[in-house]
Amino acid sequence: MDLFTPGKIGNLELRNRSIRAAAFEGMCPGHAAGDSLLSYHQSVAKGGIGMTTIAYAAVNRMGLSFQHQLWLREEAVPGLRRVTDAIHAEGAAASIQIGHCGLMAKRSIAGGRPLSSTGGFNLYGPTFPVAMKENQILETVEDFSRAVNLARDSGFDAIEVHAGHGYLISQFLSPFLNKRKDRWGGSFENRSRFMREVMIKVKKEAGNDIAVLVKMNMRDGIKGGIGLDEGIRTAVLLEELGADALVLSGGLVSRTPMYVMRGKMPTTVMGHFIKNPFMSMGVRLFGDMLMKPEPFRELYFLEDAVEVRKQVKLPLVYVGGVASGEAVTKVLDAGFEFVAMARALVHDPGFILKLKDEKTAESGCLHSNYCIAVMYSGEMACFQDDPSIPEKWKKSLGASAT
Ligand SMILES: Cc1cc2nc3c(=O)[nH]c(=O)nc-3n(C[C@H](O)[C@H](O)[C@H](O)COP(=O)(O)O)c2cc1C
Ligand code: SF4
């Protein structure tokens, strides 16, 4: 199938098979859409994308982990409406990823101790999350369902429920993170209960006019976490629950962050961008130990995704290491309806139109992951050629993403 064939997700028709994957923009001062959020997504839409995804919107205040992160609430609607209008004017569809960061919440931003399936210590915060009580779980389910209506009011065509990467839904799904002994923990049926409750409400609110995608883990990438067998079970369950499409990913950002994106976290560059001197030093000293590299290769999730493909019929979105026209062709030929990219479109928002001009075009993204390193402290952009990054760091850390 050709990338430039229209395709459907639920009742939503996209002009082609490309999706800009959710990649945290950090462009929401005061937790509402800033001008740069509009101009970035407008440029991706202008660059030919079928649908672009606004990343990582928290469904309530406790779901926030960053000062410059979107919080989907009434006050944010007018700003988001400007963003979706701009995307639509360029002929693309607009999706918003909704989630809750759970144990990754920052107390000063979220207004309380982080909530998760299980209490304890999260070294990667560092935070001390508390186990959610039944009423807190049920209230959060309601917040997901309210978020759907806020997304509709904001002009979105689709929502993407974030059920992967070790965020709250995944903190329930993952046996590595969920140690509960009640009806929300233990068996797969119990661990998936929170996701099921969220999906039932979300689907009801979405009705026929909002497409519902779910980003999920095929594997957690850690011993004791979700493996491919449970990844497949999750996909089958989501199909039964009426998801319109699945975005297949993996990894836990609180334990195996590089499993999600692969390559090396450039910790020197990360420390360079962090303003707090203690945090900056901590990252430079211990970052490599905490964020272990995972070898990068093109289409690094393809083998697992093909196994999921065999078990479900709903549209699947492939994501992970797509950076060339050749890779796009491989994905579509392997039976995936859509192909999503993050870094290739951070590097060049016009990459899809390049693929239209030249089917075998290659992205100039070097997978240096500097854009990820800056995510914690500033606005998303390709920092590969940022003049404040000394050349010697580039050499030592390499753009090879091994
Ligand atoms: C800067 C950056 C921020 C990201 N933020 C998110 C996010 O907010 N939510 C999410 O689901 N994935 C996030 N990701 C992961 C991407 O959506 C995608 O799964 C991953 O980068 C692999 O795709 P790629 O090889 O095309 O970059 C982020 C990736 C990057 C590079
Ligand atoms: S900073 Fe590196 S990984 Fe990110 S888009 Fe630029 S070249 Fe690609």
Tens of pLDDT, residues 369-398: 999 888 877 899 998 888 788 776 766 444
Which one of the ligands is nearest to 297 CA? Answer: 1
Beta carbon of 262 within 6 Å of any ligand 1 atom: no
Which one of the ligands is nearest to 261 CA? Answer: 1
* Ligand 1: nearest atom to the Cα of 55: 8
The model's pTM is: 0.95
Q: What is the pLDDT of residues 213-225, one digit of tens each?
A: 999 999 999 999 9
Which residue ranges in the chain fall short of pLDDT 50?
Answer: 396-402
Kindly give, in sequence order, each residue whose CB lies less than 8 Å from that of residue 27, ignoring residues fewer than 6 positions away: 33, 34, 36, 37, 40, 68, 379, 380
| Residue 288: φ, ψ to 5° | -65, -30
Residue 155: name the closest of 45, 243, 238, 254 by CA.
Answer: 45
Which pLDDT score, from 0 to 100, does residue 395 have? 61
Which pLDDT score, from 0 to 100, does residue 374 have? 85
Which one of the ligands is nearest to 400 CA? Answer: 2
Tokens of 122: 């999260």
Q: What separation in Å is there between the alpha carbon of 25 and the centre of ligand 2? A: 14
Taking the mean position of all CA atoms in its chain, how far away is CA 200? Answer: 21
Which pLDDT score, from 0 to 100, does residue 402 have? 39
Beta carbon of 162 within 6 Å of any ligand 1 atom: yes
Tokens of 157: 């065509």
Contact call for residues 322 and 339 (beta carbons, < 8 A): yes
Q: Kindly provide the residue ranges of all beta strands, DSSP E only, lying in 27-113, ordered along the sequence.
A: 51-58, 93-99
CATH superfamily of 7-262+297-365: Aldolase class I (3.20.20.70)
Q: What separation in Å is there between the alpha carbon of 133 and the centre of ligand 1? A: 31
Beta carbon of 371 within 6 Å of any ligand 1 atom: yes
The sign of the CA dihedral 171, 175, 180, 186 is positive
Decide if 40 is catalytic: no
Which residue's CA is the nearest one to ligand 2's atom 8? Answer: 365
* Ligand 1: nearest atom to the Cα of 162: 11
**In the block, residue with structure tokens 């004017």:** 89
Which residue's CA is the nearest one to ligand 1's atom 7? Answer: 23
Beta carbon of 380 within 6 Å of any ligand 1 atom: yes
Q: What separation in Å is there between the alpha carbon of 5 and the centre of ligand 2? A: 28
* Ligand 2: nearest atom to the Cα of 364: 7
> HSE-up of 268 (CA within 13 Å, CB side)?
12
* Ligand 1: nearest atom to the Cα of 340: 26
Q: Which residues line ligand 2 (CB under 6 A)?
A: 343, 346-347, 365-371, 382-384
Q: What separation in Å is there between the alpha carbon of 367 and the centre of ligand 2? A: 5
Which residue's CA is the nearest one to ligand 1's atom 3? Answer: 23
As a whole number, the mean pLDDT across the chain is: 93
Tokens of 202: 């979300």
Alpha-carbon distance of 346 to 372, in angstroms, equals 10
Pairing status of strand 12-14 against strand 7-9: antiparallel
Which residue's CA is the nearest one to ligand 1's atom 2? Answer: 23
Beta carbon of 319 within 6 Å of any ligand 1 atom: yes
Q: What separation in Å is there between the alpha carbon of 352 and the centre of ligand 2? A: 17
Active-site residue, selected from the candidate residues 40, 167, 300, 370: 167
* Ligand 1: nearest atom to the Cα of 215: 11
Q: What separation in Å is there between the alpha carbon of 373 and the centre of ligand 2? A: 10
Which one of the ligands is nearest to 348 CA? Answer: 2
Which residue's CA is the nearest one to ligand 1's atom 4? Answer: 23
